[in-house]
A and B are shown apart, each in its own frame.
Chain A
Amino acid sequence: GAVVSQHPSWVICKSGTSVKIECRSLDFQATTMFWYRQFPKQSLMLMATSNEGSKATYEQGVEKDKFLINHASLTLSTLTVTSAHPEDSSFYICSAPGASGSKNEQFFGPGTRLTVL
């Protein structure tokens, strides 16, 4: 089946540093990937849509200069949290739509827990 991986699974960093999170589709190609953020005991909030070969589309209220997204290839999207602050601490999850025939189904990565000290 369609598998999506994320790396790292968790990261702790100091305030002011930047952190890169990778999202990979392991056995299928994904021209589109989605990045979500989940606060404790809350639902997933879509942050942005990552598009291979073009700029990401950000949801309202998400700072594109703070959350840099690069869809480097058909199997890799990266989210870089720049100049991280404690309020950026969260669980970040990516997903990718399935192959043709199931294009309204998404496959989720296991998530990356970011803690900013």
Chain B
Amino acid sequence: GNSVTQMEGPVTLSEEAFLTINCTYTATGYPSLFWYVQYPGEGLQLLLKATKADDKGSNKGFEATYRKETTSFHLEKGSVQVSDSAVYFCALSGNSGYSTLTFGKGTMLLVSP
């Protein structure tokens, strides 16, 4: 079955530091890959996505590249801000119909001033 593995947190960084959150997946076929962000007390918001190999998703300074050869979708940001503190979830879905999402366990990011 499908599965997503992401690095455990919390990840603690100072403002303006470089961020990487690793995500690898196991899936049949060609899944779509997503990063969702959850701010404290809120639901999930789509941060970025990629639907095929070598696609790069980007949004709000975050980016991730769909690497089929390494089955990875690592999230990166060049300079984090305090407001980026949240929990980040890597997820995948199949490409047939309304496929359900399989989530990683989430990685908490804490950015200090």
Residues of A within 8 A of B (CB): 6, 32, 34, 41-44, 46, 49, 93, 95, 97, 103-111, 113
Pairwise interchain contact A104-B44, C-beta atoms closer than 8 A: no
Q: What separation, in Å, do the CA atoms of A106 and B100 have in the docked complex?
A: 9
Question: Is B59 engaged at the interface, CB distance under 8 Å to the other chain?
Answer: no
> What are 26 A-to-B residue pairs whose CB atoms are below 8 Å?
A6-B43, A34-B100, A41-B108, A43-B103, A43-B106, A44-B44, A44-B103, A46-B100, A49-B100, A95-B44, A95-B101, A97-B98, A103-B98, A104-B32, A104-B51, A104-B95, A105-B46, A105-B49, A106-B93, A106-B101, A108-B46, A109-B43, A110-B42, A111-B42, A111-B43, A113-B41
Q: What separation, in Å, do the CA atoms of A19 and B97 have in the docked complex?
A: 31
Query: Apart from A104-B93, A105-B46, A107-B46, what are 20 other A-B pairs with CB-CB below 8 Å?
Result: A6-B43, A34-B100, A34-B101, A41-B108, A43-B89, A44-B44, A44-B101, A44-B103, A46-B100, A46-B101, A49-B100, A93-B44, A95-B44, A103-B97, A104-B51, A105-B34, A106-B93, A106-B101, A110-B43, A113-B41
Q: What separation, in Å, do the CA atoms of A1 and B34 have in the docked complex?
A: 18
Pairwise interchain contact A44-B49, C-beta atoms closer than 8 A: no
Instruction: Give every chain B residue within 8 A of A103 (Cβ-Cβ).
Output: 97-98
Q: What separation, in Å, do the CA atoms of A95 and B101 have in the docked complex?
A: 10
Q: What separation, in Å, do the CA atoms of A44 and B36 have in the docked complex?
A: 11
Question: Is B45 engaged at the interface, CB distance under 8 Å to the other chain?
Answer: yes
Instruction: Give every chain B residue within 8 A of A95 (Cβ-Cβ).
Output: 44, 101
| Minimum C-beta distance from A93 to chain B (A) | 5
Q: Pick from A6, A34, A42, A105: contact of B106, CB below 8 A.
A: A42
**Considering only CB atoms, which chain B residue lies closest to A9 in the complex?**
B41
